[in-house]
Amino acid sequence: MRLTRITLLALLGISLLAAVACNSNSEQEPTPTPAASVTQQPTVTPTATTPAAASVTVSIDAPETVKKSSGRYFHAYVAITPVDGFFIAQYDISYDPDVIRVQDVRVGDISDTATRIEEWGYVPANTQGTLRIFNTVPASAGADSISGEGYLADIYFKIMGDPGDSSTISFVEGLGDPAGHLTIVNTQILEITATWVDASVTIE
């Protein structure tokens, strides 16, 4: 029997401490509204006899340097190598809010199919420094999963620091309440093994 999206979310027990952000790319920072609480369910983990899903690499694709004089904004993409049967992803990203700040998080694209941003927000809420993103497959995809390569999300940053300042843009887990995880899951409720690769940016 095919599991519905709601059933899979309940089984995975992905509980987000996130905020729904305003869709704005202006200089004004969005003030997130806390997302509705989710009843936490037991987390399903593959047993030793469960075959592992194929592995992927998820990386931050961002410029190594950005010029404050020529613009105050830049994009960082959450890139993913070829993946088979992508369904859900949750991940936290940390950065130095004195150097850069998130202005918006936009949908990704895997082989010309959008990856929906189900939720995004800060951990803790309303505090820049750690970003939590939750991806799903949009209903418009016409299928329960997506296969291919591309990027999960487009993060739009604003430059806050001065020339010479730098910030890492790093995947982190274990922060917040509930604690964040670096997780990618397919429709068989198998965690897709992933290597998570960080980046850094320096202001010129």
Domain containing residue 62: CATH number: 2.60.40.680
Domain count, the chain: 1
Q: Mean pLDDT across the chain, nearest whole number?
A: 81
Q: What is the pLDDT of residues 93-150, one digit of tens each?
A: 999 999 999 999 999 999 999 999 999 999 999 999 999 999 999 887 777 899 999 9
pLDDT for the residue numbered 43: 44
Domain that holds residue 9: 5-22+52-195
| Residue at 27 is within a domain | no
| Residue at 32 is within a domain | no
User: Who's near 1: CB < 8 A, 6+ residues apart?
Assistant: none
* Overall pTM surpassing 0.85 (yes/no): no
Q: Is the pLDDT of residue 31 over 60?
A: no
| Residue at 44 is within a domain | no
pLDDT for the residue numbered 52: 54
pLDDT for the residue numbered 177: 84
Exposed (0-12), middle (13-18) or buried (19+): which is 21, by Cβ within 10 Å? buried
Q: What is the pLDDT of residues 48-70, one digit of tens each?
A: 445 556 799 999 999 999 998 87
Q: What is the mean pLDDT of residues 179-198?
A: 94
